[in-house]
Amino acid sequence: MDCTSSTSSSWLLVCLAITAMFLDVWSAPTSPHFTTHSKESLQYVANVLIAESGKLRSEICKTPHLCTSSFEHLLRADLKLPEINNVESGCLSTKFNKEKCLPKIYSDLLRFQPYLDVLKESMPSNKNIIEFMQVKTIFLANGVSQLIENPSEDQKDTTSEIALADFLSNDPWTQNLTSYIILQSFKDYMQKTARAVRNSVKVSK
């Protein structure tokens, strides 16, 4: 849409309104530091991250046989990615425990940061979108921390201490498989994060 192609004042107002909506979707929160955001906005950000990681995952899956590789499970274990897969986490819908689940999610979202750094190195053409995902992930982590009613005094903003070089390979196929696993795990975690935020709303009512 070219907002300069018409001199109509009404058309200009329409263009400005659409531009404002676009900026609100992609830029509103660009900073990880904020005051208070609704649980609905946190679910929205999680869904945006699900969509963006899904697009990158689909791009990687264009490599023949990559996304059905039998090596995925072995490499996934080596990566030690954050995950939610047991009752003890308190995040499963049937045994949801807000005060156990939300601190774990907060910590795990921060732990994803160095893995996203790996993606920036292995997918340089998508560096901007991955940086966008990093900012949104920190925003989401901070928002989740605000939902914790009784935060621990020793809760710290820590990330995984992983060596970037350990997850970069000279073999393009292996590197693509690593990136695929990170994106798949990230997407799965965002889906569970959105569900946990939704469940926390039910608990609060």
Residue 6 has pLDDT above 50, yes or no: no
Between 10 and 97, residue with greater pLDDT: 97
Cα distance between residue 92 and residue 108, in whole Å: 16
The arithmetic mean of pLDDT across residues 155-172, rounded, is: 68
**CA-wise closest residue to 119 among 159, 167, 85, 156:** 167
Mean pLDDT, the chain, whole residue set: 78
* Token pair of 192 as six digits: 């569970």
The arithmetic mean of pLDDT across residues 44-70, rounded, is: 91
H helix intervals, the chain: 9-27, 39-60, 72-79, 98-111, 113-122, 127-147, 172-204
Per-residue confidence (pLDDT) for residue 162, from 0 to 100: 65
Q: How confident is the model at residue 155 (pLDDT cuts 50, 70, 90)?
A: low
Asked if residues 146 and 36 have their Cβ atoms less than 8 Å apart, the reply is: yes
Our CA angle for 59, 48, 139, nearest 5°, is 120
Task: Report percent pLDDT > 70 for the chain.
Answer: 74
pLDDT in tens, 17-39: 433 433 344 444 444 444 445 77
pLDDT in tens, 74-117: 788 788 899 988 777 888 877 888 888 999 999 999 999 999 99
Per-residue confidence (pLDDT) for residue 103, from 0 to 100: 93
b/e map 74-96, b = 16+ CB within 10 Å: eebeeeebbebeeeebbbbeeeb
Cα distance between residue 162 and residue 18, in whole Å: 42
The arithmetic mean of pLDDT across residues 34-45, rounded, is: 74
For the full predicted model, state whether its pTM sits above 0.85: no
Between 142 and 163, residue with greater pLDDT: 142
Q: Which of 118-127, 167-176, 190-199 has the lowest mean pLDDT?
A: 167-176
Between 153 and 59, residue with greater pLDDT: 59
Residue 193 has pLDDT above 70, yes or no: yes
Between 122 and 73, residue with greater pLDDT: 122
